[in-house]
Amino acid sequence: MANDKITKTNAVRLLEKAGIDYGTVPYRVDESDLAAAHVAAELGEDIRTVFKTLVLRGDRSGYFVCVVPGDCEVDLKAAARVSGNKRCELIPMKELLPVTGYIRGGCSPIGMRKHFPTFIHSSCQQHSHIYISAGVRGLQIKIAPADLISFVAACVADIAVASGD
């Protein structure tokens, strides 16, 4: 299911090395609109299947990753609870690249500079496949949720609330 015509990102190479079935799907990037809704529209997919990767810092655990549907926001109280923290917050944008190796709009839960505890919203299990960033703007990975959960050793939890958009 891999697409050889696409430049291979670190995330894609790691999936290939592990023998995990996936697909890559390019989309047109709009630098002024990096929102998941734009990505879903470009892919022609339901926004509930396009997941975004967010990096947070807890007051006890340090950095951790939340993967939530594109039409949702991280529930900070729930994220803190499941990650063993009292409080947590999204990291400042200027920290994203140094901490993860990825930029805004191209942050993948696969292949960060260091492995961080990862939590994925339970709704992922309602879909046969979901989309996550391939690690660059303009390319998504289509993957079975169970494969992603296993590969990144994610915990499945209710960590999101509907977006106010």
Tens-place pLDDT, residues 78-134: 999 999 999 999 999 999 999 999 999 999 999 999 999 999 999 999 999 999 999
pTM of the model: 0.93
Q: Go through 45-79 and write b for each residue having 16 or more CB atoms within 10 A of its CB, e for each that does not.
A: bebbbbbbbbbbbbeeeebbbbbbbbbbbbbbebb
Residue type, 150: S
| Residues in CB range of 101: below 8 A, 6 or more apart | 10, 111, 112, 113
pLDDT at 2 over 60: no
pLDDT digits (tens, 9 = 90+) for 24-60: 999 999 888 888 999 999 999 999 999 999 999 999 9
